[in-house]
Amino acid sequence: MSSISPEDDAKRKEFYERLARSALSPLWLSLAALVTRQPSSGLKAAMWSYADCRALLMEAGGLVSVEEAERRVLVLENSAFPGQSRITTSLYAGLQLVLPGERARSHRHSQSALRFVLEGTGAYTAVGGERTPMYPGDFIITPSWEWHDHGNDTPDPVIWLDGLDIPLVQALDTSFMEQLGQIEQPVLRPAGDSLARFGANLLPVDHRPTGLTSPVFSYPYARTREALDTLRRNGEPDACHGYKMRFVNPVTGGFAMPTIGTFMQLLPRGFASGPYRSTDATVFTPVEGEGRSQIGEQILEWSARDVFVVPSWATVRHLASSDAVLFSFSDRPVQLATGLFREERIQ
């Protein structure tokens, strides 16, 4: 850009002030930051150690009163966006602790939520009149605008990872929320009903979907693990992904949730994945195993139940030092629906 005389500079400043008073701003000053050559949010690769987080969560369990219990969540906040409750630019993640005997009141909201169970057996999530038990490794959905509640009737604490599309819903300005009058929704059907009804490669003959979310709202780990084991026994791993599957909505074959893509992958012991990058910043949590991931220049050493995040378009390589299974989620369904998704296997 050519140099500008002090006089011109002053003129421009005065002009910009007048613009501001008319709610206008000069694009020539901001364009370079708005339309960038590559993803440029500044999102940081980062990891949260489960051991550390668990200790703080337990401490919170002592500090936060019963009334506040339904919010006993520690938000995993990307340091690039302090105070914004986001782990990526479009997604929220948090660790939730439910102590023995606690129950959350039934409510519903526009935001889609996933729960990925990290610790404890025997809590439940209720959706659509069905209470599903929660075991480590289970992927559970509380769909947009469906009543949901949960509780822990066991003597042990339960901890899960929450994933929500809160920042995306903010960007679209479409948040709605309601409390159900009663504390808990009535239980209408036994556990396992939705899985049998919708998840056995059959659908009720006249089923008409009422939303975009999978009616199978609980994907038990045992079944997922078995599928991954079969893939492993029967073929070679993908160079960049190992054995990787995405959870699907059986009514459409699309993603299980309209705004959040969810995945599970198995990396055999010693497997080193080839460099790969994609535009969907992704949150990972290992279910089993240990390893490390190189993200750009950064190296993260992880073991089971840690949580780490890979920014958009950062090159990632995983190395599994034992057989490892990783759950992950991102906003890929939105990127695909808008034509904005890109991915690259780097040679």
Q: Which of 10, 40, 299, 344 binds its own copies (CB under 8 A)?
A: 40
Which one of 174, 183, 269, 344 is in contact with its own copies (CB under 8 A)? Answer: 174
Q: Which of 61, 99, 110, 296 is in the footprint of its own copies by CB under 8 A?
A: 110
Nearer to its own copies, 5 or 155 (CB): 5
Choosing from 136, 137, 151, 250, the residue that interacts with its own copies (CB under 8 A) is: 250
Q: Is 347 in the site for its own copies (CB under 8 A)?
A: no
Q: If binding is defined by CB under 8 A, does position 311 make contact with its own copies?
A: yes
327 scored as a contact of its own copies (CB under 8 A) = no
Residue 113 or 134 with smaller CB distance to its own copies: 113
Tell whether residue 13 is a contact of its own copies (CB under 8 A): no
Is residue 51 near its own copies by the rule CB under 8 A? no
Q: How many CA atoms lie within 13 A of 285 on its CB side?
A: 27
- Residues 49 and 26: their CA atoms lie apart, in Å, by 44
CA distances from 312 to 82, 87, 164, 256, 308 (A): 18, 12, 18, 22, 13
CA separation for the pair 77, 84 (Å, rounded): 7
Contacts of residue 235, defined as CB under 8 A and 6 or more positions apart, other chains included, come to none
Q: Which stretch binds its own copies (CB under 8 A): 116-124, 147-155, 165-173, 288-296?
A: 165-173
Please count the CA atoms within 13 angstroms of the CA of 289 that sit on its side-chain side: 22
Stretch that binds its own copies, among 116-124, 148-156, 236-244, 288-296 (CB under 8 A): 236-244
Stretch that binds its own copies, among 42-50, 267-275, 291-299, 319-327 (CB under 8 A): 42-50
Q: Which of 100, 133, 192, 296 binds its own copies (CB under 8 A)?
A: 192
What is the total count of residues that contact its own copies (CB under 8 A)?
136
**Residue of 172, 239, 272, 299 that binds its own copies (CB under 8 A):** 172
Half-sphere CA count of 80, side-chain side, radius 13 A: 15
| Contact (Cβ atoms closer than 8 angstroms) between residue 335 and residue 271 | no
CA dihedral 60, 63, 68, 73 (to 10 degrees): -10
How far is it, in rounded angstroms, from Cα 134 to Cα 122? 6
Check residue 298 for interaction with its own copies (CB under 8 A).
Answer: no
**Interacting residue with its own copies among 142, 152, 259, 282 (CB under 8 A):** 259
Spatial separation of the C-alpha atoms in residues 285 and 291, rounded to whole Å = 12
Six token digits for residue 189? 């059907």
The only residue of 45, 102, 111, 149 in contact with its own copies, by rule CB under 8 A = 111
Contact range with its own copies by CB under 8 A, out of 56-64, 147-155, 267-275, 284-292: 56-64
Asked if 251 and 207 touch (Cβ cutoff 8 Å), the reply is yes
Q: What are phi and psi of 12, to 5 degrees?
A: -65, -40
